[in-house]
Structure 1
Amino acid sequence: MQPTRMLHYRTQGFNGTAVKYSPFFDNRLAVASAANFGLVGNGRLYVLDLTEKGIVPVKWFTTQDSLYDTSWSEIHHNQLLAASGDGSIKLYDTSADDFPVMNWKEHNREVFCVKWNGVAKDRFCSSSWDGTVRIWTPHRQESLLTLPTHSCTYSASFPVDTPDLVSCVTSDSYIRVFDLRTPASASNHLVIQIPNHSGPAAPPIPGQAGIPPGGIAQPAEILSHDWNKYRTTMIATASVDRAVRTFDIRAPQQGPVSIMLGHDYAVKKVCWSPHVAELLVTASYDMTCRVWSDRYEASGAGDVDPMRSGPTVPIVGSELGRMGRHTEFATGIDWAMFGDEGWCASVGWDESLYLWDVRDTIP
């Protein structure tokens, strides 16, 4: 089923890479984008409002290099970050001129993710292809801390309730969790390292030869991850092997708690619902966005103490619906935090932003 309620905005000449709703305004969102599919050329950061006349631009900022991600400030309603292909992070103010109010440049490769801390609101993190995660504050020109991963790092984030934990996912197929309260020592604050490939393999793509069915999953790049907003020790990952998996960091030896299969190509982005604990949405290179239930509560897994259990067979989550309006790779997705509990925004390489209600996709 396709959503019957949908709004569209075209980012003409720029291919969308990420979309984020404002934490302050129920009708404002930002889109990070890049010309020429992010391979070469300019980037553009759009600030858009939802009005009675549809989606209208409030402002945009054009950059010299591609933009791969954006994150709204948690302390200033007009400010937002942009992650750039030249290794820089820029802070823009919608009430100021077209130039960034702050500019940080320590990463040696593309910055692929920026994320503001929702608890310690004077901090944010970034991750880069240079194999590091960095912690920053808008009050300083230099980073506060560098966390090495020794692998291309696609995504970094903070849990919703613990300001000193930082997580990231990387091209070597590992989830890493750092606790900034621990001594740096030789571990550089690393406290948990979970192999994303510790569960069963995703099934082969129909018609594609050479991939044996079943068996143990092989390492595959993890492109995105997100913390559950209610079960605050749970992380969902999205990877190149087309699977979405969830893990409980209290029991890293347990393997995946649940696995969701159905995408035909790599899953680019995953995002838990801010309203319902079991729901998440994904955006994929197969040009679809999908709505999932991890079926955690229905399985009774919440009644089992993960600290006392060893490896388990993962729960098989279910696909509830999908949106197939994008005509190129779907690269970014986010839930609206305010208003009705089903609205999402998605962007893709087709120069399109769609606002749609996930409930319209569920039969």
Structure 2
Amino acid sequence: MLEFRTHGYNGYSVKYSPFFDSRIAVAASANFGLVGNGRLYILNLTADGIKPEKWFDTQDSLFDLAWSEAHENQLLTASGDGSIKLFDISLSEFPIANWSEHAREVFCVQWNLVGKDSFLSSSWDGCIKIWNPHMPASIATLPTHSCTYSAQFSPHSPNILSAVSSDSHMRIFDLRTPASASNHLTLSIPIHTPPKAQPGAPPAVGIPPSEALTHDWNKYRETVLATAGVDRLIRTFDIRAPGQGPVAILPGHEYAVRRLTWSPHLSDVLLSASYDMTCRVWTDGSAVGVGAQGVKTDPMALGGGRELGRMGRHTEFATGVDWCLFGAEGWCASCGWDERLLVWDARAIMTS
């Protein structure tokens, strides 16, 4: 396990570069993000450990970051003052672009993984904005009417995106639909709907709604997403059957789940970071019965999800986690409020 100390700054988000397996960025904030400055770290994995390549200081806290999918040296930050900044690590210490349309803290930024010509942001002001990095103003605004902690472009389509919010709903938007009164909204799924009861089983008991803090699209199954939040449970959904409720529910975390991400290598594996100071690896059970061509006969029958292992080296809230896109399928990085970035191999903690 490799470690880097972000002295004086508490980590909020960590992302591997999509271009280099040895480059990692961390968005961090002074005073736990409550007040004070932010810092964006650019780090390199070397034979002598993790070495800082560069850092940028900001006037307000940083809550998220996203590497550009079009330019290897550029990345975005989401700030507590409602701004989004674009940095180029080959240039000076100042951002090369700045956008300030959000009225509250920006908690999420993400680049369009397929189109590569746009990015999104979501905010506590109750909306998602779509941006072109070459334009001074946003190109679309999608209201959610609630604090939106997480928004994501689908990795399978440049026009579909999703969001989870404090009202315990997951929303799906399709930018190809007319900009009508629905503002491109095509689906709204109540996250806390109990799963559909199996024949002969007693009806499932619902759980009171609570804030959803994070979600992610499965990289291999284009209709499957995972969500998590304050109630400590990870849920997976198939948007082809929104009325069914969650397909899999994964309990185990002792406090809120702050971040989760599906593996870029294995279709059934995901990674989570929690306020219980652990990062955990899970399977949703969908790999059971996969045939030689990688296709399940019944993709909705995902039972058997479980925890595969946990990493408990953080000593404060674990707030960010990401998979390495390159090389062996288990390498990942995590950051937390303990001012530490950890790089580790998930395979070392996974049980069979």
Q: Give the alignment partner of residue 333 of structure 1, picking from 321, 331, 347.
A: 321
Question: Partners of 1:50 and 1:99 in 2: how far apart?
Answer: 24
Is residue 233 of structure 2 the alignment partner of residue 239 of structure 1?
no
**Does the 8 Å contact 1:259/1:315 carry over to 2?**
no
**Does the 8 Å contact 1:24/1:77 carry over to 2?**
yes
Q: Within 5 Å, give how 1:60-75 maps onto structure 2.
A: 60-75=55-70
Query: 1:199 offset after TM fit, Å?
Result: 2.1
Question: Partners of 2:123 and 2:134 in 1: how far apart?
Answer: 21
Task: Show CA shifts across 1:137-163 (max 9, x none).
Answer: 111010000000000000000111110
Is residue 84 of structure 2 the alignment partner of residue 89 of structure 1?
yes
Query: 1:296 offset after TM fit, Å?
Result: 1.5
Residue 107 of structure 1 aligns with which residue? 102
Report which stretch shifted further, 157-166 or 101-110.
157-166
| Structure 2: gaps spanning 5 or more residues | 196-203
Question: Partners of 1:73 and 1:304 in 2: how far apart?
Answer: 36
**Does the 8 Å contact 1:273/1:280 carry over to 2?**
yes
Q: Within 5 Å, give how 1:73-222 maps onto structure 2.
A: 73-199=68-194, 215-222=205-212
**Does the 8 Å contact 1:28/1:48 carry over to 2?**
yes
**Does the 8 Å contact 2:267/2:287 carry over to 1?**
no
- The amino acid that maps onto 2:264 is P
Query: 1:302 offset after TM fit, Å?
Result: 3.6
Question: Partners of 1:33 and 1:323 in 2: how far apart?
Answer: 21
* RMSD (CA atoms): 1.4
Question: Partners of 1:333 and 1:199 in 2: how far apart?
Answer: 28
Query: 1:106 offset after TM fit, Å?
Result: 0.1
Task: Show CA shifts across 1:36-80 (max 9, x none).
Answer: 000000000000000111100110000000000000001110000
Q: Give the alignment partner of residue 263 of structure 1, picking from 245, 253, 269.
A: 253
Question: Partners of 2:13 and 2:30 in 1: how far apart?
Answer: 13
Residue 350 of structure 1 aligns with which residue? 338
Question: Partners of 1:246 and 1:302 in 2: how far apart?
Answer: 16
**Could you tell me the percent identity over the aligned residues?**
63
Query: 1:305 offset after TM fit, Å?
Result: 6.7
- The amino acid that maps onto 2:298 is V
Report which stretch shifted further, 292-301 or 333-342.
292-301
Task: Show CA shifts across 1:104-159 (max 9, x none).
Answer: 00000000000000111110000000000000011101000000000000000011
**Does the 8 Å contact 1:134/1:147 carry over to 2?**
yes
Moved >3 Å (runs of 4+) = 299-302
Structure with more relative contact order (C-alpha pairs < 8 Å, separation 6 or more): 1
The SS at the match of 1:197 is coil
Change (3 A) 1:359 1:87: same
Query: 1:220 offset after TM fit, Å?
Result: 1.0
Q: Give the alignment partner of residue 290 of structure 1, picking from 280, 289, 304.
A: 280
Residue 200 of structure 2 aligns with which residue? none
**Does the 8 Å contact 1:260/1:316 carry over to 2?**
no
- The amino acid that maps onto 1:259 is I
The size of the alignment, in residue pairs, is 339
Query: 1:232 offset after TM fit, Å?
Result: 1.3
The SS at the match of 2:347 is helix
| Structure 1: gaps spanning 5 or more residues | 1-5, 201-213, 307-311
If the length of structure 2 is used for normalisation, what is the TM-score? 0.94
Residue 309 of structure 1 aligns with which residue? none
